[in-house]
Amino acid sequence: AIEGGQAKPEKEPKIQELVDSYTAKLKLEKKKQWFWAEEIFNRVYSDWLTRRLSDLTEVSIEDRQLKITAERGQSAATRALKALRALFNYAEKRSLYQGKNTAKKVDLVESEPRRRWFTAAEKARFLDALNTPEFTSTYVSDFFRLLLLTGVRWGNLCSARWDEMVWEENVWVIPKEKSKSGHEMRIGLRSAELLKPVLVGFTGGVHGHVRELPQRLPDRLLPGWVPAVVAP
């Protein structure tokens, strides 16, 4: 069928269905960030989830990019557009969409890497933002807190496994295969006594990844944390 000048399958799925299917595919393939597209769509494209890709025009995507840039910054807008392009590509490969990848018509602006530290004011705003419902209702708040408190790279935290946690020694052992330096790293977990009772019940998650803990850790645990140090 032809609709709006674009070829359209007889039963083109809605964007929500595509996001669910794409996310399931990434998880099955054991991608480190299998949840990335789902998170982005829920955050900035939530009002589009009941629509179809063929409903999206170049103008509507450009307008949304401007809105995301104004509200969240250029980096967020870039990630959002990449997620939208990825969904178009996925739908095309699965023959779920036969029109043009409209998202490719919109310019992708790569943001410059940040080359300075947070100022005290920026750090305060960042921590305040982590406490807002937008982030506390997902794993994001705790994810960034754990990054700050352990000092590990985000990739290490994304790929962390429960069997890397040595509770007897209160240490997280990052294998050399996952370390940028090529050496095994031992991260001290000074508040392991607070976390263990809560986390030990979730060691049986699929693939054993820490990412599969419940939506968020109770706030009462966070005040007990102190910045971790690399164990000698």
pLDDT in tens, 106-126: 988 776 666 667 778 888 888
Strand 165-166: give its sheet, edge to edge.
165-166, 171-174, 185-188
Overall pTM surpassing 0.75 (yes/no): no
Tell me yes or no: is domain 2-105 CATH 1.10.150.130.
yes
**What are the DSSP calls for 151-186, one per residue?**
---HHHHHT-BGGGEETTTTEEEE-GGG-TTSS-EE
User: CATH 1.10.150.130 in the chain, residues?
Assistant: 2-105
Q: Which pLDDT does position 151 carry in this prediction?
A: 76
What pLDDT, on a 0 to 100 scale, did the predictor assign at position 141? 74
- Enumerate residue ranges in the chain where pLDDT < 70: 1-10, 32, 111-116, 139, 190-232
Residue 223: C-alpha distances to residues 79, 120, 144, 226 (Å): 32, 20, 15, 8
Q: What single DSSP character describes residue 230?
A: B
CA dist 65 and 59 (Å) reads: 10
The predicted pLDDT at position 225 comes to: 38
Write out the two tokens for 20: 């669910």
